[in-house]
Structure formats: structure tokens, C-alpha cells
Amino acid sequence: MHSESANLWRLITLLGCTLLSRGVAAQNDDQQRQSIIEQRIETIAGLLEEDAELDYTNLLEDLTYYYEHPLNLNRASEEQLKELYLLTDVQVRNLQTHITRYGPLNNIHELQVVRGFDESTIRNILPFVTVRPPGNLQGTTLKTIFEEGTHDMFLRYKRTLEPQKGFSSDDPGVAPAFPGTPDYGYIRYRFQYRRNLIAGFTAENDPGEKFNGRPDFFSGHLFYSDQTFVRKLVIGDYQALFGQGLTFWNGLGFGKSPFVMNTRRNAIGLRPYTSADENLFLRGAATTLGWKGFELTIMFSDKKVDANLDAVSDSTEIFDEFQVTSLQTSG
């Protein structure tokens, strides 16, 4: 009997130690992931243009996803490789040329023979990439998509504890300056299957904004991507990253740095919009069609933009005339 009790306690102790070690290991893995992603973001931020005020939501989401689901270099498109923001256009094209000429990579260490891939570059992308046989969505069932897809939800709430004058009034007959409460609420949900299918929404209600059954900002999207005739399709809110930022760009733009090849912006085309910024996106639908080496992108957007108006004082017309002085960016 004594022997059985001793064995039981030994089993309980062993089980407790196992669970504790797994908990510590999981915590260490999370800390390691956070540290690696922070280091890469700092590296990328150091290459951006000076005084650039950019939303890093997409960058953080992309690096986090590729850390948890490493990008298969044998089937990665040019746009997906550029989403890492750790490779230049020359390196991306050299990698794809190497795979086209010599076939799929068999080992991650083969990157050393790709022109332009030095030790520093390989070390930077290593946590976010892998090498597997190429594949696509062909033959994938809905059951597989829902079983292997990932769900992510992020919630945020904050409120200033000290009373704020704008939210109350000393005169009962006078309404407060702000119609809403001092509460801030934010929720973001995303379903994702590889990088092929993405669906989600973002909702935010700023302090002072009145909540009438819906938040003051709501954004949703449905996104499809694959190496078929329909390369990309997005419905809802999206970004279109083309050109070099003269008229149509809202992604990361690199400035002066020792990496002279990074001054050119990496245009990744269409992508779903997941940020809470109320200005830097399009609302409607868009698609990218491809055939061999040619691509055609068709876009439609019906998003209204707020502007600051100024009356024209020397107008000779009967009706008042106004001119746009600037666009609202505060939301």
C-alpha cells in the first residue's frame, strides 16, 4: 500500500513537472517570437524615410503570421516575398530566377548560392521562411480550409480615470462638448487560411464619439489569392500598393540607408486593409488577373474623403464658392 502511494505521488510530481515545463517552454517561445519580430521591425524602421508617420499594423501582422506559418519559398509569389520587407527587388527576382532555372529548393541552406543573398540577409529571413514542395489551392476542400484555417481576435479597451471636462457639463441645460462617453473600444477579427483566403473586420469607437448601435469606424474585407488566372480578388476595404508613391501609395517607404537597393518601394499590389486608420484605404472591390508574365489590376472604390474648405472671398458669383485647402487625416 505504501509502495502504491509512493508511486502515485511520484506520478503526480512527474505530471506537475511536465505541465510546468511545458508552460515555461510556451512562455519562452512567445518571448522569443516577440523578440525576433521586434528586432526585424527595428531593422525595417531604421530604413524608412525620415519623419515617416506610418501605421505598422500590417507589418506586425505579416511578420507574426510568417513566423507562425513560414513562407514556402518554392511557391511564394513576388508580392509575398516583398511582404517580408527584408528582401530587395533584386534579391526577390534572383531567387525566383534561381528556382525557375534549377528547380525547387531542397534545403534552406541553398539560399547561400543565390546571387545577392549574403549571411545577414539569410539570417534576417530565416525565422519567417521554409522550404517545402510547391502547392496551391487546387484540390483543397472547404473542410480542410476550416480545419486548418486560423482565427485571431484582438480586443482593446481604455479610459482615462480622471474626469474630463468635455464629457460633462456644470449647467444641466447645456449638453457636454462630446456626445459620447470617454470609453475607447477596439476589436479586430481575422480568419486566415495560408495566405490564400483572408476574411475579417475591424471596429473602433473613439472617446467622445456617440455609439448608436454601431462603432464610429467599421472596416471589413474578404480576400483571395492564388497562382491562377485570378491572381487576387478583394471585396470590402483594401489597399492598392503600386508605383513609387508620387500619387498612389500608402505602404512603407524606405529612405537613405547603407542598403542602396532598398530606396525603391516594394509594390505588392492588392492587399486587405486591417488597420484602424480611417483614411489610408479604398472601399469597394478589386481584382488582379494574370496570364504568363502579364497582369491586369481592375479597381473600384466608393470611399468618401473629408476635406477642409475655405470660402473664396473675391468670388463674383451669386453662390458662395469654396476651395479645398487640405484633407482630413485625424478621423
Name the pairing type of β-strands 150-158 and 129-130. Answer: unpaired
- Cell digits for 9? 505521488
Would you place residue 7 in the very low, low, confident or very high pLDDT band (cuts 50, 70, 90)?
Answer: low
Average model confidence (pLDDT) across the chain = 79
pLDDT tens profile 254-282: 555 555 555 556 677 898 998 888 887 89
Three-state secondary structure call for residue 56: coil
pLDDT tens profile 184-204: 999 999 999 878 899 999 999
- Closest by CA to 83, choosing from 70, 99, 102, is 70
pTM: 0.65
132, pLDDT greater than 90: no
pLDDT tens profile 33-78: 888 888 888 877 776 665 555 556 777 888 888 888 888 898 888 8
pLDDT tens profile 103-120: 888 888 889 999 989 888
Give the Cα separation of 8 and 106 in Å (integer).
49
Would you place residue 167 in the very low, low, confident or very high pLDDT band (cuts 50, 70, 90)?
Answer: confident
Q: How far is CA 31 from CA 34, 67, 87, 273, in A?
A: 5, 13, 25, 27
Q: What is the mean pLDDT of residues 284-289?
A: 96
Q: Summarize the chain as % helix, strand, coil (round to 5).
A: 30, 25, 40
Would you place residue 211 in the very low, low, confident or very high pLDDT band (cuts 50, 70, 90)?
Answer: confident
Helices 57-68/2-45 angle, 10° precision: 140
Asked if 307 contacts 121 with a C-beta cutoff of 8 angstroms, the reply is no
Three-state secondary structure call for residue 157: strand
* CA angle (255, 256, 259) in 5-degree steps: 105
